[in-house]
Chain A
Amino acid sequence: MSDGKDRSPSPADVCIVGAGPAGAIMAYSLARRGHDVVVLDAGERYTQQDHHRRMEMWLRPDFEREAFWVDEARDRYSSTGDIFARLNKVRVKAVGGTSLHWDGNTPRLHEKDFEMESRYGLATDWPISYADLSPYYDLAEREMGVSGIDDNPHGPPRDSPYPLEGFAPSYSDELFREACDELGISMATQPKAINSEAYDGRSGCIGYGVCNACPSGAKYSAEVHARKAEAEGARIVDQVQVLAIEHDDDGDSVESVVYVTPEGTEYRQEADHFVVAAGGIETPRLLLLSDSDQYPNGLANSSGAVGRYLMDHPSVETRAVLDDPTWQNNIGWVSSRSDEFYDHEDPVPGSFHLTFGNNAASNSGGAQTRDPAMSQLLGAVGSVEDMAGLATDPFSQTQLGEDLELPTTDGPPYPVSIRGAGEMLPRAENRVTLDRSTTDTYDRPVPSIELSDSDHERETMAYCLEVQADIMDALGAEITGTLTLEDREMSSHHMGTTRMGTDPQESVVDEYCRTHDLGNLWIASSSVFPTGGANNPTLTIAALALRTADVIDEELR
C-alpha cells in the first residue's frame, strides 16, 4: 500500500511515538517553541469524509465499528483475567488515537486522587499534587476547547473559567435534579471538549448526536493538534510501526527508535529526546519488547513495574422507566454528572461519579438487526406458547412494513438511566505482559492483559448501585435492569502501567514523566498515573503532556 509518502527519518530534537492526545499535544507544544519534532504513528490519517463514514459505522449495528482502524493481525492481543480486555473495541490506532472515538468528557481528577495513601492509607500518592497540575489543567482546557459551567459544588478547585460557555442540562437531567435534590445529592453540568460555539477554527456542535464518531469536528480530537503541530513544522509520519527503542552502550540514554513502513522498509529515527505516547497498553508493551542486555526485563524496567498496576474505571449502570416522557436520544453526549460521592471520608467505599443518561434507549436495533434464532429456540424451551410461536417462525423472521420494529423512545413507559464509574486501586498482579505464544504482523509477541477487580472496586460499585437505585426511587422510576461488575469488560481507560514515582525501585517515571533509567526517554500517557481516580483521564493526560513538554523544552535550550 504505497501512497508515495516519504516515511524516512529526518533530523529531530524530539521523536514522539504515538499521535494520540498526549503525543499530538506534546508535539504541538514543542514545535511551537521551535523544536524539530517527528511523530510516528502506527495508524492511518483520516479525512473529514472518513468521519462521516465512521458515523454510519457507529450507528449501524450491522457494521463493525472498529473495522475502520483495526488491523486484526497487527492489533492482536490476549486477555487472560476475569475481565475481558476488548482492547480493539476501545482503543484506536490512528492519527488522533483513541480521541477519535471518545465522548469528549473532560473532568479533572480531584485533589484526593493525588493523595490516596496519605488520606486513606490506600495504594500510593502521586509525586505531584493537584496544585502542581492545576495550571496545566487550565492550559489543557484551552488547548482542547473545553465547554463548561463552573457549577460543581464537589468538583476540584478552579483557577480560571472554562474557555467556552457550557452546555445546559438536558430535559431528563432536570427530572433527575428534582430527585437528587430530594436526596441531597448535588448535580453539576459535565465539562466537555466539544465546542459550544466556534473555537480554534472549528465549528460549534450541530447535534449529530454521534459523539463517538463526530463528523462535524466540533468535538476535540488529537487530529487538531496533529494539524497544529504540522503547521508549526512538526512531522507526523503515519502508518509506521515502531518496533523497538534502542539505547546507547551505557544504557543511560536512548539513541533511536526502529520503525517499519508499510512497504516493509526499516528505519532508525534518531533524536535528542524520545517520548513514548502509545497509551496504557502499547506503551509498556513497547518497553517490554525493547529489552537488551542491560535491561533484560524490558527497557526502563529496573523497577519491574513496567506493565504492572494496570487500572481502568469499573462502571455500573441502572436502567429504569418512567410513566412520563424522558426525551431521550436527542443529543449524543452526557450533560450532567454528580461528584457528591467522589471525595469520601472513609477508605471504602471509594470514589465514583455519576452521569445521567441522555441516550437511555437504544438508538439502533429493531429491524437493523435480527434476533438470533438460537436464542429464540432456547428461550422457547419449556413454554408452550413460545413453542407454538417457534413453529410458525422457526428462524426469527424480521417483520417489515406495518410491523417493522423500530428503535423508539416513545412510551409510556419511557427510559432513563444512570451510570457510575469508580476508582480501581493499583495492584501489581493486574498487568500487561507479552504473550510469546502469539505474534502480530511484525512477528512481535502480542500484549496479554490480565485484569480483575478487588474488594475495593466491588464495595465501591455496590454502593454506587445503591445510590443509583435510591435516585431512581426518588424519581418514581421503575428499575428494569442493572449492569453490575459481573457484567463488565475492561473500560477504555488504561492506566498505571508505567507508574510515576520518586523511588526508582518502585516506579518507572519520575514526577516529570522521565524514565528513571534513561535520561532522555519520557512517557506521555495515562500509563504514568500512580492511581486513576474515578474520572475520565484524557484531560489529565493532556495536562501531564503539556507539563512534560515544558521540561523537555528547558532541556533543549
Chain B
Amino acid sequence: MWEKLQRSSVATPVVPEHVALASGAGFLLVAVATSARIPVAVVGGLLVAAALFVGPSAALGGTSGLVIHDLFRGAVGVGTLTLAVWLCVFVGLLAWFSPALAGGRARLSVRSPPRALRSYVVGTVVAGLYATAASAWVATVAGHERFYTAAADLLPGVLVAGLVGVAAIVTARRLGRAVSVPRATVGTRPGRLTTLALFVVGAAWLVGAIGTDLLAHDLGLFPTDIQLAYYVAGLLGTGSLVATVGSAVLLSVYRYGELAVVLSAPLAGVLSWVLVSLGRTRVQSPTPDIDFVNGGTDND
C-alpha cells in the first residue's frame, strides 16, 4: 500500500509554493480556531477539505502550520503528533482514492460531478476511518489518551471534511468553474472490490479497537482476573456454552485487550497491503477492471 501511496504522490506532485502558502494558512487556521476554541477535529476536517483546492499540499501545509503554531505556544506534544498523523494519513489516502485531488493544481471535477462527489465521499469515509484509527493508535501507543477517546475526538473531523468537501464540489459546479479533470495514472487507485475491502478493514480496525479498548478499560476495574472470573461466573453461570465462551472472551480481553489495540495497527496495515496488492494484480490482469467505484471510466 505504501508503495502505491508513493506512486500516487509521484503522480500528484506536491507544489512547494502551495506548501508554503498552506503552512501560513494552516498556521492561521489553527491559531484562529484555537483562539475561538473550535474543536481540533473541525480544524482537521477543514484542512482535509482544503485538499480539494490545493491537493496534498493542504495536509503538509496544515501539518507544518500546526507544528509551528504549537511550537509558538510551547506545546508541541503527542497532541501535535496525533493531529499531524490524522491529516497526513487522511489526505494521503484521499488523494489516492479521489481523482479530484490527484492533480495537485486546484482542480475540481465538474465534468462529472456525481462521480467526483461519489469518489470524494467514498474516499473521505475510507480515508477517515484509517486516519482516525491511525491517529488514535498513535495517541494510545504514546501513552497520551485511550484509543476510544482519541478516536471519538477526531471522528467529527471526518464528518466535517465530508460535508465541507461536498459543499465545495457542489458550489464549484454551481459557479460553473469548469476545470478539466486531471487524469490520474491508471492503476494507482483502488478498484471497487479493493475499496470495499479497505472500507471493511478500516471500519473493523476503528470499531474493533474502540470496542476492545473500552471493554479492556472497563474490565480493568477488576484488580485481578480471579475477581473478574468470579464476577462473570455470577453473571453467566458455569458449565454452559455461553458461560464458557463468554468468560474466555472476557478474560482474554482483560488480559490482552490493550495489547490487541497496540497490535491492531500493524495488523490492519498488513491486511490492507495484502488487499491492495491483490487489487493491483486484478487491475493489471488482461481484462481491465472497469468497475472503479470512485473514478469510474475517468480513469482510462
Direct contact between A and B in the complex (CB less than 8 angstroms)? yes
Q: Is the CB of A152 closer than 8 A to any CB of chain B?
A: no
Given A79-B226, A372-B221, A395-B215 contact (CB < 8 Å) = no
User: How far is A64 from B218 in the complex, measured between Cα atoms in Å?
Assistant: 16
Q: Which residues of A contact B227 (CB under 8 A)?
A: 84, 86
Given A79-B226, A84-B227, A84-B230, A395-B218 contact (CB < 8 Å) = no
1/0 per residue, CB under 8 A from A, across B44-55: the answer is 000000000000
- A373→B214 contact, CB < 8 A: yes
On chain B, the number of residues with a Cβ less than 8 Å from chain A's Cβ atoms is: 13
State which of A72, A79, A84, A374 has its C-beta within 8 Å of the C-beta of B218: A374
- A373→B218 contact, CB < 8 A: yes
Q: Is the CB of A375 closer than 8 A to any CB of chain B?
A: yes
Q: Which residues of A contact B214 (CB under 8 A)?
A: 373-374, 395
Q: Is the CB of B149 closer than 8 A to any CB of chain A?
A: yes
1/0 per residue, CB under 8 A from A, across B136-175: the answer is 0000000000001100100000000000000000000000
Q: Which residues of A contact B223 (CB under 8 A)?
A: 64
State which of B149, B215, B224, B226 has its C-beta within 8 Å of the C-beta of A374: B215
Q: Which residues of B contact A79 (CB under 8 A)?
A: 226, 230
Q: Which residues between 220 and 237 of chain B lie within 8 Å of chain A, taking CB atoms? A: 221, 223-224, 226-227, 230
Given A79-B226, A84-B227, A84-B230, A394-B152 contact (CB < 8 Å) = yes
Question: In the complex, what residue of chain B is closest to A486 when comparing beta carbons?
Answer: B234
Q: Which residues of B contact A394 (CB under 8 A)?
A: 152
Chain A: interface secondary structure?
Answer: loop
Question: In the complex, what residue of chain B is closest to A79 when comparing beta carbons?
Answer: B226
| Distance of B147 from chain A, by nearest CB (Å) | 11
User: How far is A64 from B223 in the complex, measured between Cα atoms in Å?
Assistant: 8
- A395→B152 contact, CB < 8 A: yes
Given A79-B226, A84-B227, A374-B214, A395-B148 contact (CB < 8 Å) = yes
| Distance of A105 from chain B, by nearest CB (Å) | 26
User: How far is A72 from B149 in the complex, measured between Cα atoms in Å?
Assistant: 31
| Distance of B242 from chain A, by nearest CB (Å) | 15
1/0 per residue, CB under 8 A from A, across B196-235: the answer is 0000000000000000001101100101101100100000
Q: Which residues of A contact B218 (CB under 8 A)?
A: 372-375
| Distance of A313 from chain B, by nearest CB (Å) | 20
User: How far is A139 from B152 in the complex, measured between Cα atoms in Å?
Assistant: 64
1/0 per residue, CB under 8 A from B, across A227-244: the answer is 000000000000000000
User: How far is A200 from B224 in the complex, measured between Cα atoms in Å?
Assistant: 41
Q: Which residues of A contact B221 (CB under 8 A)?
A: 372
| Distance of B154 from chain A, by nearest CB (Å) | 14
Question: In the complex, what residue of chain B is closest to A83 when comparing beta carbons?
Answer: B230
Question: In the complex, what residue of chain B is closest to A66 when comparing beta carbons?
Answer: B223
User: How far is A84 from B222 in the complex, measured between Cα atoms in Å?
Assistant: 14
User: How far is A84 from B231 in the complex, measured between Cα atoms in Å?
Assistant: 10
| Distance of A113 from chain B, by nearest CB (Å) | 31
| Distance of B221 from chain A, by nearest CB (Å) | 6
Question: In the complex, what residue of chain B is closest to A64 when comparing beta carbons?
Answer: B223
Q: Which residues of A contact B224 (CB under 8 A)?
A: 72
Question: In the complex, what residue of chain B is closest to A369 when comparing beta carbons?
Answer: B221
| Distance of A372 from chain B, by nearest CB (Å) | 4
1/0 per residue, CB under 8 A from B, across A353-375: the answer is 00000000000000000001111
User: How far is A374 from B227 in the complex, measured between Cα atoms in Å?
Assistant: 17
| Distance of B238 from chain A, by nearest CB (Å) | 11
User: How far is A166 from B52 in the complex, measured between Cα atoms in Å?
Assistant: 81
| Distance of A57 from chain B, by nearest CB (Å) | 13
Question: In the complex, what residue of chain A is closest to B223 when comparing beta carbons?
Answer: A64
Question: In the complex, what residue of chain A is closest to B224 when comparing beta carbons?
Answer: A72
Q: Which residues of A contact B217 (CB under 8 A)?
A: 373
Q: Which residues of A contact B149 (CB under 8 A)?
A: 395
1/0 per residue, CB under 8 A from A, across B66-99: the answer is 0000000000000000000000000000000000
| Distance of A501 from chain B, by nearest CB (Å) | 34
Q: Which residues of B contact A375 (CB under 8 A)?
A: 218
Q: Which residues of B contact A374 (CB under 8 A)?
A: 214-215, 218
Question: In the complex, what residue of chain B is closest to A85 when comparing beta carbons?
Answer: B226
User: How far is A375 from B222 in the complex, measured between Cα atoms in Å?
Assistant: 14
| Distance of A399 from chain B, by nearest CB (Å) | 16
User: How far is A375 from B217 in the complex, measured between Cα atoms in Å?
Assistant: 12
Q: Which residues of B contact A395 (CB under 8 A)?
A: 148-149, 152, 214
User: How far is A86 from B218 in the complex, measured between Cα atoms in Å?
Assistant: 20
User: How far is A42 from B113 in the complex, measured between Cα atoms in Å?
Assistant: 77
1/0 per residue, CB under 8 A from B, across A43-82: the answer is 0000000000000000000001000000010000001000
Q: Which residues of A contact B152 (CB under 8 A)?
A: 394-395
Q: Which residues of B contact A72 (CB under 8 A)?
A: 224
| Distance of A97 from chain B, by nearest CB (Å) | 22
Q: Looking at B149, B217, B226, which has the most chain A CB atoms within 10 Å of its CB?
A: B226
Question: In the complex, what residue of chain B is closest to A377 when comparing beta carbons?
Answer: B214
User: How far is A72 from B224 in the complex, measured between Cα atoms in Å?
Assistant: 10
User: How far is A394 from B230 in the complex, measured between Cα atoms in Å?
Assistant: 27
Q: Which residues of B contact A86 (CB under 8 A)?
A: 227
Q: Which residues of B contact A372 (CB under 8 A)?
A: 218, 221
Question: In the complex, what residue of chain B is closest to A487 when comparing beta carbons?
Answer: B234
Question: In the complex, what residue of chain A is closest to B146 when comparing beta carbons?
Answer: A395
User: How far is A373 from B230 in the complex, measured between Cα atoms in Å?
Assistant: 20
User: How far is A101 from B214 in the complex, measured between Cα atoms in Å?
Assistant: 34
Q: Which residues of B contact A373 (CB under 8 A)?
A: 214, 217-218
1/0 per residue, CB under 8 A from B, across A370-413: the answer is 00111100000000000000000011000000000000000000
By Cβ-Cβ distance, the 8 closest A-B pairs, closest first, are A372-B218, A374-B218, A84-B230, A373-B214, A374-B215, A64-B223, A373-B218, A395-B148
18 extra A-B contacts, CB within 8 A, seeds A64-B223, A372-B221: A72-B224, A79-B226, A79-B230, A84-B226, A86-B227, A372-B218, A373-B214, A373-B217, A373-B218, A374-B214, A374-B215, A374-B218, A375-B218, A394-B152, A395-B148, A395-B149, A395-B152, A395-B214
- 22 pairs, A vs B, C-beta closer than 8 Å: A64-B223, A72-B224, A79-B226, A79-B230, A84-B226, A84-B227, A84-B230, A86-B227, A372-B218, A372-B221, A373-B214, A373-B217, A373-B218, A374-B214, A374-B215, A374-B218, A375-B218, A394-B152, A395-B148, A395-B149, A395-B152, A395-B214
Q: A residues near B, CB below 8 A? A: 64, 72, 79, 84, 86, 372-375, 394-395
